[in-house]
């Protein structure tokens, strides 16, 4: 399995970090998790391209996770691709219907299949996936691809989500702000470290990084490390990880 971070940024993207997007690939299967601003550019830079993505799995519907969704539909139409499947939490169909109602000329350009999922197990893009509800300001799902890869989506850090991720070779977890930012719906390093304490996870990558985190990576890692002694690193755009 190959996991590529397309966008490790947030609703305030920087020149180095675009908005949310992660590619999961294995044996000819490809799933794009989230599709924030810049996802199409990163897809081209990754070598996969928008032609190579026929399945999108959404964690939730905040703009920084869906803003390139309709541009992806248009790019695939113009490139001669005839279908796209979009899978996400409840409300995903209404989201696509509303977007297409605004941009009427995009209706019926490709075979657009929309499927809504709830916490539990299901199949998407040829992968068996488990979903878990997170703690965020909109309904949001974390996703686990067997014992290899788990993505937290947007969420506060809490024991239930840490339990969901335990045993994963790779966990990509929201860590939006340093400790001195008063925030809800996202974790700080201290809260993330406390939640992960004692869990067995191969490696943790921090993502969904606001500009507030720039220049403060070391102190953030130290804060997590005061509670959790596992391997923790910062994800970077276009970074690819191979998982056996």
Q: Are strands 127-133 and 141-145 parallel, antiparallel or unpaired?
A: antiparallel
Compute CA 242 distance to the chain's CA centroid, rounded to the nearest angstrom: 17
Residue 238 token pair: 């276009």
Alpha-carbon distance 8 to 208, whole Å? 5
> Which of these is catalytic: 27, 34, 64, 190?
64
Q: Which residues contact 21 (CB under 8 A, 6 or more apart)?
A: 5, 6, 7, 32, 33, 34, 35, 36, 38, 39, 42, 43, 68
Where do runs of H (alpha helix) occur along the chain?
39-46, 63-66, 69-78, 92-102, 159-165, 189-196, 217-225
237 catalytic residue (yes or no): no
Residue 18 token pair: 């675009």
The vertex-195 CA angle with 244 and 242, nearest 5°, equals 15
Q: Indicate which residues carry an active-site annotation.
A: 64
């Amino acid at each position: 399995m190959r996991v590529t971070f397309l966008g490790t940024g947030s609703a305030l993207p920087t020149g180095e970090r675009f908005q949310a997007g992660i590619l999961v690939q294995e044996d000819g299967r490809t799933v794009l998790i989230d599709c924030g601003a810049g996802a199409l550019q990163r897809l081209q830079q990754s070598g996969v391209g928008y032609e190579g993505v026929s399945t999108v799995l959404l964690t939730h519907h905040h703009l920084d996770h869906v803003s390139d969704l309709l541009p992806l539909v248009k790019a695939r139409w113009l490139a001669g691709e005839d279908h796209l499947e979009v899978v996400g939490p409840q409300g995903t169909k209404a989201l696509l219907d509303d977007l297409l109602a605004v941009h009427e000329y995009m209706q019926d350009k490709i075979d657009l299949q929309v499927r809504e999922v709830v916490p539990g197990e299901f199949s998407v893009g040829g992968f068996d996936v488990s979903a878990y509800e997170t703690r965020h300001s909109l309904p949001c799902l974390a996703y686990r691809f067997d014992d290899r890869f788990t993505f937290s989506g947007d969420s506060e850090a809490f024991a239930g989500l840490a339990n969901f991720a335990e045993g994963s070779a790779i966990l990509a977890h929201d860590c939006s702000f340093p400790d001195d930012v008063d925030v809800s719906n996202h974790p700080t390093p201290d809260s993330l470290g406390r939640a992960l304490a004692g869990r067995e996870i191969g490696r943790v990558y921090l993502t969904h990084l606001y500009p507030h985190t720039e220049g403060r990576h070391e102190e953030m890692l130290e804060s997590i490390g005061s509670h959790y002694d596992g391997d923790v690193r910062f994800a970077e755009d276009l970074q690819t990880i191979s998982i056996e």
